[in-house]
Amino acid sequence: MSGAAAHVLILGGTTEGRALAAALDGRPSLRVTSSLAGRVAQPRLPAGEVRIGGFGGPDGLAAWLRAEGVAAVVDATHPFAAGMSRNAALAAAATGVPLLVLRRPGFAPVPGDRWHLVPSLAAAAELLPGLGRRVLLSSGRQGIGAFAHLDGLHFLARSVDPPEPPLPPSLEVLLDRGPFTLDGERALLRDHRIDVVVTKDSGGAATAPKLTAARELGLPVVVVERPPVPEGVPVAADVAGAVRWLERTV
C-alpha cells in the first residue's frame, strides 16, 4: 500500500496489545490506534493513538472501520473477551477488513499439577465445595458473581479494581495488579491458608507463578478453559508474528 499511512486498529488492553503498539510506534507507513474497553479505572496506556470505550456492537465497529479507513484489525483482547472477538470477526467480515487474533498461548500443566478443567465459572463454582474451603479467586472481578451463592466457603478475590455485587458472603478483596512473583504467591497462599485456587486459562507469565506455588503446596487448581477463537480467523501467538502478518497485509 502506498500514499497515506495505513490505519491499523489494535483491540487491546493486554500486555500483547501494548507490546504490539510499541513495536509499530514510529513507523511512517502506519497509523496505529489502540482501543481499550474502559473496564479498568486506570488502564496502562499503549504507545500511539488511544480510544476508550465500546463501539456499539459489530455494526458500530463496522461503521467505525469504514469511517476511519482502517486497513487491518488486530484483536489483542483478553483471551476471555469472547464478545469483543466475536464482534470483531463480524465487523471484519462485513467490511472486508483483514483481521488477525493475537492470542498468547494458554497455561500448560506439568507433572505434579492437580488441575480440574471446567468450561465456565459456573462449573467452577459447582466443583469448589468438594475441593476446599479457602479459595484464591483470581479469575477477574467481573466473574465473582458466579460464586455469590456459596456461603460455606471463604474467598480471597484478587483484582485490579473493586468487584461489584452480587458477591459471596465471606469475601476478602485484594486489589493488586500483576506481574506477580513466585515468592509473593507462595506467601499469599500460606498467609491466607488457601486450599484451592480458581483461575482462568489466560496464559502469560504475569500470573503464572500462582500455578507453580499451588503445585509446590499440592493444592488443587480449578482452571476455566478459554473460549475458542472465531472460526476462520488467523491467529498469531506472539507480537513478532502479528508484525509479520501486518507487513504482509498492509
Q: What percent of the chain has pLDDT above 70?
A: 98
The reply to whether 143 falls in a domain is yes
Confidence of residue 41 (pLDDT cuts 50, 70, 90): low
The reply to whether 169 falls in a domain is yes
Residues 20 and 89 in one domain: yes
List CB contacts of 211: < 8 A, sequence separation 6 or more.
107, 113, 197, 199, 221
Stretch 103-123: mean pLDDT, rounded?
96
Here the cell at position 143 is 466473574
pLDDT at 38 over 80: no
CATH number, domain of 87, equals 3.40.50.720
The reply to whether 26 falls in a domain is yes
CATH number, domain of 214, equals 3.40.50
* Concatenated DSSP letters of 62-78: HHHHHHTTEEEEEE---
- The residue segments making up the domain with residue 163 are 114-224
Q: What SS3 string covers 148-169?
A: CCCCCCEEEEEECCCCCCCCCC
> Comparing 6-10, 144-148, 161-165, 243-247, which segment has the lowest mean pLDDT?
161-165
Sign (positive/negative) of CA torsion 87, 90, 94, 99?
positive
The reply to whether 109 falls in a domain is no
* Concatenated DSSP letters of 8-20: EEEE--SHHHHHH
Domain count, the chain: 2
Residues 128 and 186 in one domain: yes
Residues 10 and 100 in one domain: yes
The reply to whether 1 falls in a domain is no
Amino acid 42: pLDDT:
77
Residues 188 and 243 in one domain: no
Tens of pLDDT, residue by residue over 166-225, are 999 999 999 998 889 999 999 999 999 999 999 999 998 878 999 999 999 999 999 999
Amino acid 1: pLDDT:
41
CA distance 242 to 246: 6
Stretch 63-69: mean pLDDT, rounded?
98
Sign (positive/negative) of CA torsion 54, 122, 135, 167?
positive
Mean pLDDT for all residues in the chain: 95
